[in-house]
Amino acid sequence: MPIELQLAKFLLNHHKIAYAITDYALNVVELGGELALLPPIDEACKVGNGSGLSLFEIAPEIIGCEAEILSLLQGDAPVFLLPLVNRESAQATLIYVNLTCLPHKDAAGQITGILHIVEDVTTHGRLEQRLTQQRNELSMLRDQLGTHNLALTAANIELHNLDEIKSKFVSIAAHELRNPLASILGYVEMLEEDLALFHEEHAHYIKAIHKSAKRVLSITNDLLDVTRIESGRLELILKSTNLVEMLEDVADELQPQLEAKHQSLLLDSTPDVPLAFCDNTRTFQILANLLSNAIKYTPEEGQITLCLDAQAEEGFIVVSVADTGIGISQNDQGNLFRSFFRGSNTHLTSATGAGLGLSIAKSLVELQGGRIWLTSELNQGSTFYVTIPIDDNAANENASDKNASDENRTFTQQYD
C-alpha cells in the first residue's frame, strides 16, 4: 500500500475527519470518514456517497467564497482554509471544525474537482473561545480601569485643591485667633496677680477663663503646626542636644500637673548617653506631648516612667514614656497617629484635646529621621517609644559631666 494511502488511513482512523470529493461542477461524488461532522444530510445521500449534493450543501460556511474555490479549480491557489467553524452536532452540542479545500487531481495530474476535508478541533476551539473571551474581558476591564483612573485623577486633583484651601483657611483662622487670645491671656494674668481682691467665686471664674484660653491657644498652635507640616513649610534647626537635661526640663514644666494628680515620675537613663542630633524646640514639644498624655490618661497616684536608652537601637537614642493609665485598645492603636483621632475610651477621664498632638509628634519625629510606636493593653497602661538620631560627631562623648561619672543615673521625683 502506498505511503500516502497508509497515512490517510491512519489519520481517518485516529482523528475525527470527514471528507468529500466533488467533480469540476462541485457536485459531490464521494463521501467518507466521520460523516457526523457534516451538516445534517439525507441518509440516502450518505449511502449514495453524497450523490445529488453540492459542495455548498455539505459546507454552507463557504458560501460567499466562490472566488477562492474557483482559484483552486483553476490551479491558481494551493489551498483554501476556514479555521474554527462552529457547528451544532447531531447531539445538539456545539463543535468546532476546520474546513480545508484542496484541488483534487486525477492520475494524469489534471484538476477534476475539490477535495473537501472537515477536521474536528472542538477541544482546541473551546480553548480558543475561552481565551478570546478572557481577552475581551481583560480589554473591557482595562478600559474600565482607564476610566476609573481618569476619574480618580480628577478626584485627587479636586481633593488636593480642597486640601490647599482647607490648609489656607486653618492657617489664616489660627493666626487671627492668636492675637485676641494673647490679649485675653495678658489681661487674665494681670487679674490673677490680684486675685485676693476678688470674691472667691469670681477668682474661680478668672482661673477657669485662664485655663480655657490656654487650651484654645494650644489647639491654635497645633493647627498651625499641622498646616506647616502638610505644606512642607516647617523648618527644623538640627544641633547637638542633651536629652537627659531636656527630659528634666520637660518634667519640671509639667510638675504642676503631676502634683495635681499626686502621680510619681521616674526618670531613668543608661550610662553615658551621647548627645542627640535634633531640633531642640520640636523635640521638647514631642516629649512634652507624650508626658502630658501620660499624665492625662493615668489616674491619680499612678506612676509614669521616662527612660533613655542609647544601646537599644544602633545610631539612635530610644526614649520611652510608660504609664499605668487606662490603656489603648487594639482597634484604636492603628488610628492613634491620625489627625483629630481620639481613643474610644478617653471618655473615662476628664482629659480634653483635639486629637492633634500625636499626629504632630509623629510627623516631627519622622522629619528628624526617627520613628514612633507604642505598646498598650486596656487598663494596663501604655508605653510610647521614640527614636532620636545620635550626633555622630559627639557619639563618644557623654551627655553631660554629671552622668559621665555615674555607672547608672536614675532620677526619681515623687509627688504625693
Same domain assignment for residues 219 and 305? no
In 71-129, at which residue ranges do the beta strands (DSSP E only) sit? 80-88, 94-105, 111-120
Same domain assignment for residues 16 and 114? yes
Flag whether 96 is in a domain. Answer: yes
Contact (Cβ atoms closer than 8 angstroms) between residue 383 and residue 375: yes
Please tell me whether residue 83 adopts helix, strand or coil conformation. strand
Q: What residue type is 197 in one-letter code?
A: L
Same domain assignment for residues 264 and 409? yes
- Give the span between the Cα atoms of 77 and 68, in whole angstroms: 8
Cell of 97: 471544525
Same domain assignment for residues 247 and 392? yes
Contact (Cβ atoms closer than 8 angstroms) between residue 65 and residue 80: yes
- Looking at the DSSP assignment, which residues form a beta bridge with residue 412? 266
List the CATH number of the domain containing 182: 1.10.287.130
Cβ–Cβ contacts within 10 Å for residue 220, how many?
19
- Looking at the DSSP assignment, which residues form a beta bridge with residue 65? none
Flag whether 173 is in a domain. Answer: yes
Percent of the chain with pLDDT over 70: 85
Flag whether 202 is in a domain. Answer: yes
In 146-185, at which residue ranges do the beta strands (DSSP E only) sit? none
Q: Which domain holds residue 214?
A: 139-230
Same domain assignment for residues 47 and 165? no
Same domain assignment for residues 359 and 410? yes
- Give the span between the Cα atoms of 348 and 342, in whole angstroms: 12
Name which of 34, 104, 121 is nearest 69 in CA terms. 104
Same domain assignment for residues 64 and 202? no
pLDDT digits (tens, 9 = 90+) for 279-324: 998 999 999 999 999 999 999 999 999 999 988 899 999 999 999 9
List the CATH number of the domain containing 397: 3.30.565.10
Task: Name 92's Cβ contacts closer than 8 Å, sequence gap at least 6.
Answer: none
pLDDT range class, residue 392, cuts 50, 70, 90: confident
pLDDT digits (tens, 9 = 90+) for 249-288: 999 989 988 999 999 999 998 778 899 999 998 999 999 9
Same domain assignment for residues 85 and 179? no
Same domain assignment for residues 181 and 287? no
Same domain assignment for residues 320 and 373? yes
Same domain assignment for residues 290 and 371? yes
